[in-house]
Amino acid sequence: MTDFITDKLSKALDELENYHTINGEFWKYSQLKAEELLSADDWRLQEILKFRKKVGEIKDDED
């Protein structure tokens, strides 16, 4: 699964680590999903969704 972790995904997650949510807490400590925090066209969300899709495809193949 580490093959799916690209430099761009790592950069997106690094940026989000200290991202503040609406109520002022850090995203990494909140219960919010990335799609609840970021707009649909945000490049960071797009990278996360691509990763989730790849992981989902692998899980489907294993079932």
pLDDT of 58:
74
Considering only residues 1 and 6, tell me which one the structure prediction assigns the higher pLDDT. Answer: 6
Q: What is the pLDDT of residues 22-37, one digit of tens each?
A: 667 777 777 778 888 8
pLDDT band at residue 61 using 50, 70 and 90 as cut-offs: low
Q: What percent of the chain has pLDDT over 90?
A: 35
Q: What is the mean pLDDT of the chain?
A: 82
Instruction: Give helix 7-17 / helix 43-62 axis angle, nearest 10°.
Output: 120
pTM of the predicted protein model: 0.74
Instruction: Report residue 26: phi and psi, to 5°.
Output: -70, 145
Conformation bin of residue 7: beta by default, left when phi > 0, alpha when psi is -120 to 50: alpha
